[in-house]
Structure 1
């Protein structure tokens, strides 16, 4: 992880254009290549970012981050205040709570509850940035990367996006696609997933366990 604090301005050019005027900001460059620009506030969400895979070109007063889609993130460095790096090693991944872990187990036992025709290749498929919940294949043989959450939020979509970017580098898995699965998915997460060609599926935990809801039992 490389952490840079600098007074800078930022311009993003792609499907949309965005500009951040001059200010002191935190720039994070992660081991997978992701570049994120943060302010001193606003919780976890960066002001602007470029997900991996990408290319970072550093010049004395400007950083340029580009990707294969033609997007460009330009960071104009006005004053460098701090520049440091740390080796984090392999992350063990998020430890799931009991419901989330059981939800993943139930879906691994029958992936067709997510989508017709899916067959399980591996549960907790290992990558160099953490384990993927479920790796499946559809009837056409396409690899399907599945992230399972109890509550579907934006950070879960971001997590699946990172997995897809890393696994896309493996020629034995290409082509591949992603499905974000949760008991309930927030509207903002659905919009972000749709923009990244990630399908969203909501599942009923009790139904997966074979338990009828009280409302169904009345009729």
Structure 2
């Protein structure tokens, strides 16, 4: 990751146009190619950004830009659209690079981890004939919560959340896109499971052919299993 603190202005052109006037900002260039522009406020959300796939080139300023004190220009282009980010850097205060290594992924909190364990134990709650393959099935972009097979033998990837929102659907979509390229797994369908699923997330999931399942945590904890009873 490259972390730059600089006095800069930023212009975004694409589906809309936006301008950030000259100010001191944090610029982040991540290993996946994404570029993010942050201020010292606004919590976690960047002021502007370009998500991958994109390319970044550092070029010399044009004559009028140089006259305004611009020392360097970053041109960031999205490879699948006309979106473009132009960062005009007047002064670099700090420029460092750090190798963060492979991220192990988000460690789920207690309730979400328990939901995963309970659903894996009672995988039949997804439907008759469902069979567990494994929990935390690792992919190149992170672990799928549960991998199982349905009654027809089709591979199913299950993403589990406490609260089902659009970002969870997007996460599962990325897993499905990747896994369906593997001939040993494909075709892979998806289930988005949560204790509560927001209407927007349900609409997006169903539009993408992803089944939504609302989980009852207390009911899962109380499911009776004969295998652990004496009689």
TM-score by length of 1: 0.69
The alignment covers a number of residue pairs equal to 204
Q: In the TM superposition, what is the alpha-carbon distance from 1:105 to its structure 2 partner?
A: 1.3
- Correspondence for 1:22: 20
Report if the CA contact (8 A) 1:91-1:129 is conserved: no
CA–CA separation in structure 2 for the residues paired with 1:159 and 1:129 = 10
What SS class does the counterpart of residue 41 from structure 1 fall into? coil
What's the CA shift string for 1:110-162, capped at 9, x where partnerless? 43433565433221112344322112344566543322122334554454455
Q: Which piece of structure 1 moves more, 71-80 or 157-166?
A: 157-166
Relative to structure 1, is the Cα distance of residues 199 and 3 closer, same or farther in structure 2, using a 3 angstrom cutoff? Answer: farther
- Correspondence for 2:9: 7
RMSD over aligned Cα atoms: 3.6
- Correspondence for 1:86: 98
Relative to structure 1, is the Cα distance of residues 77 and 49 closer, same or farther in structure 2, using a 3 angstrom cutoff? Answer: closer
Q: In the TM superposition, what is the alpha-carbon distance from 1:95 to its structure 2 partner?
A: 2.4
TM-score by length of 2: 0.66
Report if the CA contact (8 A) 1:118-1:138 is conserved: yes
What's the CA shift string for 1:45-91, capped at 9, x where partnerless? 44555555x24242524111224xxx343111211645433211222
Q: Where does structure 1 lack aligned partners over 5 or more consecutive residues? A: 213-219
CA–CA separation in structure 2 for the residues paired with 1:72 and 1:176 = 32
CA–CA separation in structure 2 for the residues paired with 1:199 and 1:4 = 42
Matched, 1:124 2:123: no
Q: Which piece of structure 1 moves more, 30-39 or 82-91?
A: 30-39
Relative to structure 1, is the Cα distance of residues 55 and 165 closer, same or farther in structure 2, using a 3 angstrom cutoff? Answer: farther
Q: Which piece of structure 1 moves more, 89-98 or 168-177?
A: 168-177
Report if the CA contact (8 A) 1:149-1:182 is conserved: yes
Greater C-alpha Rg: 2
1:88-167, aligned counterparts within 5 Å?
88-114=100-126, 118-138=130-150, 142-164=154-176, 167=179
- Correspondence for 2:42: 42
- Correspondence for 2:67: none
CA–CA separation in structure 1 for the residues paired with 2:38 and 2:211 = 28
Runs of 4+ in structure 1 over 6 Å off: none
